[in-house]
Amino acid sequence: MIERIGYLWPEIVLFIGACLTMVIGLSPNADMRKQTGLIAGVSLLIAAALGLATPAAPTWAILPGIMPFAKPLIALVGLLLLLVNIGSVDRDEEAAIAAGKPFNPLRVTGAEFYAFFLFSLMGAMLCATAGDLIWLFLALELTSLPTYVMVVLSGRGKKGFDRSQEAGVKYFFLGALGAGIFLYGFALLYGGTGTTQFVEIAQHFAAHGMNPIATVGLVLALVGVSFKIAAVPMHFYTADVYQGSSGGVAAFLAFVPKTAGMISILLLVSTVGWAAGQGSLPPAIESLLWALAVLTMTVGNVLALLQSSLKRMLAYSSIAHSGYMLVGVIAGPGDGSFVSSGIAAVLFYLLCYGVMSTGVFAVLASLERKSGGEAVEVESLDDIKGLCRSHPWLGWSMVICMLSLLGFPPILGFFGKVPLFTSALGAGHVVLVVILALNSAIAAFYYLRVVAGVMIDPESDSGVRDTGVPARVIAAVISGVLVLGLSVFGNVFMGSGEKAAEVRRFVGQSDEHDTDSVPLDEHSEAAEDEHHAVSH
Amino acid sequence: MTTLTHIIPSLVASVTGSLVQDGHADAAGEVGHAAEQVSHAVSQGITPPVDGPLWIALIPLLPILGVVLTTLCAIFKVKSKLPAFLTVGCLAASFGLTVAMYQHLSGMGPGSTVVVTAFEWFDLSWGAGEGQRFQADFAFYVDTLTCLWMLFVTGLGTLIALYASEYMAQDVGKGYSRFFMAFNLFVFSMACLVMGENLLVLFLGWEGVGLCSYLLIGYFYKKPAAVEAAKKAFIVNRIGDLGLLLGIFLTFVKFGTVSYPELWPLVEPYIQMVKSGHAGDVPLTVSLIPILLMVGAFGKSAQLPLYVWLPDAMEGPTPVSALIHAATMVTAGVYLIARMYPMFLVSEYALPIVGWIGALTALLAATIGMAQFDIKRIMAYSTVSQLGYMFCGLAVLSSTGAAFHVFTHAFFKATLFLCCGAVMHGFAGQLDLRKLSGVAFMKGWGIVGIAMLVGCLNLAGFPFTAGFFSKDMILAESFVTAGPGYGAIGWILLITAGLTAYYTFRVFFRVFVGPKAFEPGDELHEDHGDDGHGDESRPEAGATKFHPHAPGLAVNLVLGILALASIVAAGAYFVDKEDHGWVGRLVHESSANYTGSAAFLEHGDGAHRLEAGATGDGEAGAVEHGEAGAAGHGAAAAHGSFLGMDPHKAMYYVSSVVGLIGIGAAFYLHYLGRTTAARSKADDLLPALGPIPRWAQHKWYVDEFYNAVIVVPLRVLAHVFHAIDRLLVDGVVNLAGVLPRFVGSRIRPWQNGVMHGYAVGMVGGLALLIAAVVLLSM
């Protein structure tokens, strides 16, 4: 166990950062309190650097290459999310303290907010480090639990706080239900295989094939984890929760739990699919994922069409994007090259989605509207009409990110989607690809509506103005620039995605299951107990 | 009248004569000799490329730096000539690197090619099978052909940017940065086009130059004519680009790659097939590739039937006309064919089509050029005509001649355009040759006059000018190489050479010499504000108060350099004599080196060098005799012949004489016969020709023809489609749009915000999924 510390340095740094913010954020000195964001940022930067240096291919990991990709990805997008979230809590309270109100540690929430922010990111990173079911469960819950609080905190002291509270409570209870489902699944998986270690589960499947208990366990686990990625039928909470959160927290919810969930799904599926030497998933799991993917993208896109609230629309769009990524999971690792590996496609798509969705939410978070004398977040498309003219930086960032979400060539989202297409085609899932393409076409409708709205001049002034937090505008512009930059230089990350998507295959040895699993090399066939064969 | 009645029958006679002769030659089936040459060329011409130094990638990158800097100038609203100097700096550095690249390549020995990979651009696969992977690097392929093109692209780009710094001075602070931004972007795109290692990079550059051409033609976007011309150029080019794109697709489908070094060995078996007389065995999909590529080349290089955009493109600022629409971009088609020369040998029909289209374009454009009055348009038509020559050069297996003509033409045509531009600039937009006279003798216009004379002599093919040598090479080869009707192509080109000399010197004698007189144009700078000569720019001042302003230092300097370069370019013919000049050496060491290799086109003995010796008079007599009765010649030599003589020897004298006749005619009609500034003896002769001059002046009504045959039916069709679209398609689309909405509205009630409703949904969905999985596993 102790040797795993070597893989945990990014998480440790985030943990230290979280503890520091929790203490410093309660300092009576306002200048000290202001340092919390900085501490969080610095710890994320260090975590990203350490994540890049994570040693690869430990024997206990079922996806040996995923850590050096996932951890810096989480930390760097986390940095972007931090910029969006700076100043989203305690603004009124801090202003009141500056105006002479006595400092009351019970009334400032910055400490908790940033600490939870870091804890959640740390949880997502721990998912990538997971080698067994218990670890994965704890990591997933560590990702989710802070977000329940963040949803509520983000609405504190603002108009519509009741909606935030409602969203937080809903999110918590439904999240608990989801956690219950996948925990039950994990338990059944243990029951069916006798081990909690992924590698051993995979060896068990390779040796003895699937058994009904493990199959049901896996189904429950996958569906339960789908809550994190907001896949149908676990998607119900999404729109309400996003709408109830501030723009920054909604951006956080769109990326962090989704990343943790996607990584968990990849780990879980690895135990039965290509890892067991078949090259493709068992039919039951494949059809489950197939149904999840098709339902998720279709329901997400169809419901997004009907929304008038931008945040709800983005919530459904986030559901749809989860569906797209599930296509990559179904496609599997292919021959290991970037264009044929669905796993690499999913990992690269997480990067694309993180940048472009954060950009969109950052634009929304940067704007506010006067309503009855109080500043409220922008809500409808009418509010942001003519943004390119009134706030060019925000407007164009919005246009770029929206086009990218749509998958408009030659912008990042397109390059993210292409490997999903190619990997699924390579694996022979033509129908799935057609459905994916049709869904992209439906999605064009609501994305382009926003693009057009932002670009045309409004008839009247919508009264929307900047929130006065430069960090959010900076985050929006950085996202826009990143989307453009990665469109050109994304191939660097494609390469690292390809490395991260490396899988282990375990060759089955029992005769009744060996018929269609071809031994990958002679050596591993000869070695009865040591049947690790790392494929490329 | 008399001339034409003589020319037409002799033309017909020579066409039939040469067809008969070709039939005879084909029947003889003398392929063995040529076949040897093919295998020699295939084995010798292509050397596997080696990796080159990365600094070569700076050649296209420096203009991109220029784009960035000039864009910054635009953002910061720089009100000085800074953008121009930044551009000149970047392009000059790029030119310097190009020279270094040439040196580098020369140092590697003949026939070397270098590939510089900037980054991996595309790498897609959709399966492990053959042809299921598409790869294209952003890489540069440097051989001698690349060097030749890049040398004059960057060199002329620098000079013309310098010229433009003065020419565009009245737009400083307004469109100045925008102009130079597009200018830089153009050079970058052209560099991609020429240096690309694969057809995809070429296509990027191809579209890039098209875009820049559009932007720069429409530079004066407040002028409706300019906007129209820009749109026309863009749309006509799209037609060609469709062909190019289809050609690239087909290349990929057929060969699985678009990279040149990988393509050459794959194409070779098909060339061998054609060579060994089994042209029928080449699959149609392969022999179609050159035809499709050719369509792209015809669009970009303004050949029939897609030439109509180029004359209109003269609405752009003159430096643009000089650089893009005369010297560089329009030669992209020639480059494409030269670069893809092996591909053009897989079809028996590809090169002859190129040749015939080129010859007909050359003739047609020359006849139109004779009847125009706008000097820039005359130059535009002459560009179209000269491009026709270049295509003929490619078709008659003289890629050297074509490239040499591209090279010399780049210099002298840029000179001519810049002279016209200087006149236009100085006389407030006046371009009508009836309203200008004796410009060269006005104060301060001497250099322009001399440069114009140099340019005209080159274009007219006056003996011992660069244009004379390059044109001769093509003319001679068209008589040497046997192919379908190639003799007729030679005659057409020869006649066109005479016409060219006439219309060129018509401009010179009308505008630059003769009595001093002028009428200013209508661009009296009233909308340009005070730019240093505001006192003479009152619109009501009229002709009496208008003083032409002579070109300044930058313009004169550039004109001087270019005129000198036009003269010096002739020297390239005398270097590396055994390879037909310096350009010939460059071409021979590149992928265009398939001269004399196409078995279906017999190229004769390959003795290309012209030997001086015989006197000119007798030959000239023979020409006149020949024009009267060319049908009489039938002495088919082993290789092509020119009236029974060796074309290589004869063409020197023949084309000199033809050129001199043209110049003489212009001299007689427009200099000696000059009555007033606006009239000359030619005007009196016009009625004798009946409606022909009027038709020619109206460009043979080609635009009107296209309008009637293509545009109007398309409009009608568009209305029909629009109606169908409204009634039928919208209905379907609305239906399709309604469906998701309907589905959405059905499932929306589930999103009712009630938490236990959601929980039931989640658990219910889970139950359904488990049930489905259990059912499936059973």
Place of tokens 């065995």: B281
Q: Is B570 helix (H, G, I), strand (E, B) or coil?
A: helix
Cβ separation of B773 and A301 shorter than 8 Å?
Answer: no
Helix A212-229, helix B755-777: angle, nearest 10:
140
Chain B contact for A177 (CB, 8 A cutoff): yes
Look up residue B348 and give its DSSP letter: T
Chain B contact for A180 (CB, 8 A cutoff): no
Q: Which tokens in the block code for residue B493?
A: 């080109």
d(CA A302, CA B741): 7
Comparing CA positions, the residue from B767, B762, B761, B765 lying closest to residue A216 is B767
What DSSP letter does each residue of B739-757 carry, written as one string?
HHHHHHHHHGGG--S-HHH
pLDDT of residue B45: 47
Task: Point out which residues pair with A475 in neighbouring strands.
Answer: none
Task: State the pLDDT confidence band at B36, using cuts at 50, 70 and 90.
Answer: very low
Interface probe for A, chosen from B733, B747, B760, B766 (most Cβ of A below 10 Å), is: B766
d(CA A163, CA A245): 8
Task: State the pLDDT confidence band at B30, using cuts at 50, 70 and 90.
Answer: very low
Q: Which residue among B123, B745, B759 sits closest to A339, beta carbon to beta carbon? A: B123
Q: Which tokens in the block code for residue A48?
A: 């990203």
More confident residue, A221 or B77: A221
Q: Which tokens in the block code for residue A212?
A: 């009904």
Task: State the pLDDT confidence band at B594, using cuts at 50, 70 and 90.
Answer: low
pLDDT of residue B707: 81
Q: Which residue among B126, B747, B769 sits closest to A303, beta carbon to beta carbon? A: B747
Asked if residue B136 lies in contact with residue B259, where contact means CB atoms within 8 angstroms, the answer is: yes
Of chain A, the end-to-end C-alpha distance in Å amounts to 27
Chain B contact for A238 (CB, 8 A cutoff): no
Q: Above 90 in pLDDT, residue B262?
A: no
Q: Above 70 in pLDDT, residue A409?
A: yes
Cβ separation of B762 and A216 shorter than 8 Å?
Answer: no
Interface probe for B, chosen from A339, A421, A491 (most Cβ of B below 10 Å), is: A339
Identify the H or E element spanning B45.
helix B32-45
Percent residues over pLDDT 70 in chain A: 92
Alpha carbon of A306: minimum distance to chain B alpha carbons (Å): 7
Comparing CA positions, the residue from A9, A104, A102 lying closest to residue A53 is A9
More confident residue, A146 or B713: A146
Residues A487-515 have a mean pLDDT of 70
Task: Point out which residues pair with B122 in neighbouring strands.
Answer: B136
Distances in Å between the Cα of B647 and the Cα atoms of B381, B396, B464, B474 are 28, 13, 18, 11
Q: Which residues of A touch B777 (CB under 8 A)?
A: 212, 215, 283-284
Q: Which residue among A283, A287, A299 sits closest to B747, beta carbon to beta carbon? A: A299
Nearest CA in chain B to A176: B759
More confident residue, B632 or A7: A7
Q: Above 50 in pLDDT, residue A256?
A: yes
Q: Above 70 in pLDDT, residue B667?
A: yes
A54-71: pLDDT as tens digits:
876 678 888 888 999 999
Task: State the pLDDT confidence band at B38, using cuts at 50, 70 and 90.
Answer: very low
Q: Which tokens in the block code for residue B618?
A: 């007798």
d(CA A180, CA A185): 9
Residue spans of alpha helices (H) in B371-523: 375-395, 399-426, 446-460, 466-480, 486-507
Percent residues over pLDDT 90 in chain B: 15
pLDDT of residue B465: 86
Chain A contact for B119 (CB, 8 A cutoff): yes
Total count of domains within chain B: 2
Nearest CA in chain A to B133: A339
Cβ separation of B770 and A169 shorter than 8 Å?
Answer: no
pLDDT of residue A508: 55
Distances in Å between the Cα of B349 and the Cα atoms of B262, B332, B362 are 24, 21, 20
Give residue B348's identity as a one-letter amino acid code.
E
Interface probe for B, chosen from A188, A226, A298, A306 (most Cβ of B below 10 Å), is: A306
Chain B contact for A227 (CB, 8 A cutoff): yes
pLDDT of residue A360: 94
Task: Point out which residues pair with B437 in neighbouring strands.
Answer: B517
Q: Above 60 in pLDDT, residue B18?
A: no
Helix A161-193, helix B755-777: angle, nearest 10:
20
Nearest CA in chain B to A429: B126
Last residue of a domain, one of B539, B556, B588: B588
Q: Which of A303-312, A389-398, B41-50 has the lowest mean pLDDT?
A: B41-50
Residues A415-442 have a mean pLDDT of 90
Tell me phi and psi for residue B642, to 5 degrees.
Answer: -115, 100
Chain A contact for B735 (CB, 8 A cutoff): no
Residue B605 lies in a domain: no
d(CA A40, CA A119): 11
Comparing CA positions, the residue from A415, A273, A262, A244 lying closest to residue A334 is A273
Alpha carbon of A401: minimum distance to chain B alpha carbons (Å): 22
Chains A and B form CB pairs within 8 A to the count of: 109
Asked if residue B412 lies in contact with residue B383, where contact means CB atoms within 8 angstroms, the answer is: no
Angle, CA of A377, A382 and A388, to the nearest 5°: 90
Chain B contact for A448 (CB, 8 A cutoff): no
Chain B contact for A485 (CB, 8 A cutoff): no
Q: Which residue among B120, B123, B758 sits closest to A237, beta carbon to beta carbon? A: B758
Cβ separation of B773 and A239 shorter than 8 Å?
Answer: no
pLDDT of residue A76: 94
Nearest CA in chain A to B120: A491
Nearest CA in chain B to A342: B126
Residue B375 lies in a domain: yes
A374-400: pLDDT as tens digits:
777 888 888 888 888 888 899 999 999
More confident residue, B616 or A19: A19
Place of tokens 């051409």: B213
Q: Is A379 helix (H, G, I), strand (E, B) or coil?
A: coil
Q: Above 60 in pLDDT, residue B503?
A: yes
Q: Which residues of B touch A234 (CB under 8 A)?
A: 762, 765-766
Statement to judge: residues B63 and B203 lie in one domain: yes
What DSSP letter does each residue of A477-532 carry, written as one string?
HHHHHHHHHHHHHTHHHHHHHHHHT--EEE---SHHHHTT---S-HHHHH-SS--E
Alpha carbon of B80: minimum distance to chain A alpha carbons (Å): 27
Distances in Å between the Cα of B27 and the Cα atoms of B20, B22, B23, B606, B775 are 11, 8, 6, 21, 76
pLDDT, mean over chain A: 86
Cβ separation of B766 and A233 shorter than 8 Å?
Answer: yes
Task: State the pLDDT confidence band at B512, using cuts at 50, 70 and 90.
Answer: confident
Q: Which residues of A touch B769 (CB under 8 A)?
A: 219, 223, 233, 288, 291-292
Nearest CA in chain A to B733: A442
pLDDT of residue B640: 57
What ipTM does this complex have?
0.83
Residues A410-422 have a mean pLDDT of 90
Last residue of a domain, one of B567, B588, B609: B588
The whole-model pTM stands at: 0.68
Residue B302 lies in a domain: yes
Residue spans of alpha helices (H) in B107-217: 144-167, 176-195, 199-217
Residue B673 lies in a domain: no
Task: State the pLDDT confidence band at A197, using cuts at 50, 70 and 90.
Answer: very high
B458-495: pLDDT as tens digits:
998 888 888 888 888 888 888 877 777 788 888 899 88
Helix B199-217, helix B332-339: angle, nearest 10:
170
Q: Which tokens in the block code for residue A65?
A: 């290459």
Q: Above 80 in pLDDT, residue B277?
A: no
B619-658: pLDDT as tens digits:
333 333 333 333 333 333 345 566 667 777 777 888 888 8
Chain A contact for B741 (CB, 8 A cutoff): yes
Q: Above 60 in pLDDT, residue B21?
A: no
Statement to judge: residues B580 and B710 lie in one domain: no
Residues B709-722 have a mean pLDDT of 85
d(CA B732, CA B728): 6
Cβ separation of B124 and A337 shorter than 8 Å?
Answer: no
Percent residues over pLDDT 70 in chain B: 81
Q: Which residues of A touch B748 (CB under 8 A)?
A: 303, 306
Q: How far is CA B538 from the centre of its chain?
A: 40
Cβ separation of B124 and A232 shorter than 8 Å?
Answer: no
Identify the H or E element spanning B227.
helix B224-255
Q: Above 70 in pLDDT, residue B599?
A: no
Asked if residue B80 lies in contact with residue B172, where contact means CB atoms within 8 angstroms, the answer is: yes
Comparing CA positions, the residue from A437, A436, A66 lying closest to residue A269 is A66
Alpha carbon of A177: minimum distance to chain B alpha carbons (Å): 8
Cβ separation of B776 and A287 shorter than 8 Å?
Answer: yes
User: What range does the domain containing B742 cover?
Assistant: 700-777
As a whole number of Å, the CA-based R_g of chain A is 23
Interfacial A residues in 311-350 facing B (CB < 8 Å): 335, 337-340
B580-591: pLDDT as tens digits:
777 877 887 777
Q: Which tokens in the block code for residue B428?
A: 């407030």
d(CA B627, CA B616): 17
CA trace torsion A340, A342, A348, A349 (10° rounding): 120
Domain boundaries, chain A: 2-504
Statement to judge: residues B562 and B706 lie in one domain: no
d(CA A505, CA A514): 14
Of chain B, the end-to-end C-alpha distance in Å amounts to 95
Residues B203-231 have a mean pLDDT of 90
Helix A67-85, helix A342-366: angle, nearest 10:
10
Q: Which residues of B touch A302 (CB under 8 A)?
A: 740-741, 743-744, 747
Q: Which residues contact B207 (CB under 8 A, 6 or more apart)?
A: B189, B241
